[in-house]
Amino acid sequence: MKHIWTFSVLFICVIIISCSTSKPIIAKEGKIFGYVHVIGNEPFTKLALFTQDNTTYLLKCPVEIEQKLNRKQGQLIHIKYSNLEQSPEGWMITVIGIESN
């Protein structure tokens, strides 16, 4: 009987943990550095930043910054961002500025 009670409590805990709804982590403003790359296939390409800890961030930015980033593909750059959020496609950064190394 003791084993059934232990198993039941453990089972209920697992169910509660697996059903929890977590909100995406959102960070406000910051700096991050990594290598700029274009990912995807035409016509669905997107700019992305690959960091040294193997994290990929999609970049959402104004057209003038996007043009600068396209010219800096493969280069290590610092990005100033105003928002970091989880999207269905992965982590997305809203870019407000760039600094080259």
Q: Please report, for the domain that includes residue 71, its CATH number.
A: 2.40.50.140
> Which structural domain range is residue 60 located in?
24-100
Report yes or no on 1 lying in a domain: no
Residue 89 has pLDDT above 50, yes or no: yes
Distance CA 90, CA 60 (A): 12
Report yes or no on 38 lying in a domain: yes
Domain count of the chain? Answer: 1
pLDDT at 23: 46
| Residue 51 near residue 33 (C-beta atoms within 8 A) | yes
pLDDT per position as a tens digit, 57-80: 999 999 999 999 999 999 999 999
pLDDT at 1: 61
Q: Which residues contact 87 (CB under 8 A, 6 or more apart)?
A: 24, 58
Residue 2 has pLDDT above 70, yes or no: no
Report yes or no on 92 lying in a domain: yes
Q: Give the per-residue SS3 of the chain.
A: CHHHHHHHHHHHHHHHHHCCCCCCCCEEEEEEEEEEEEECCCCCCEEEEECCCCCEEEEECCHHHHHHHHHCCCCEEEEEEEEEEEECCEEEEEEEEEEEC
pLDDT per position as a tens digit, 15-56: 666 654 444 556 678 899 999 999 999 888 999 999 999 999
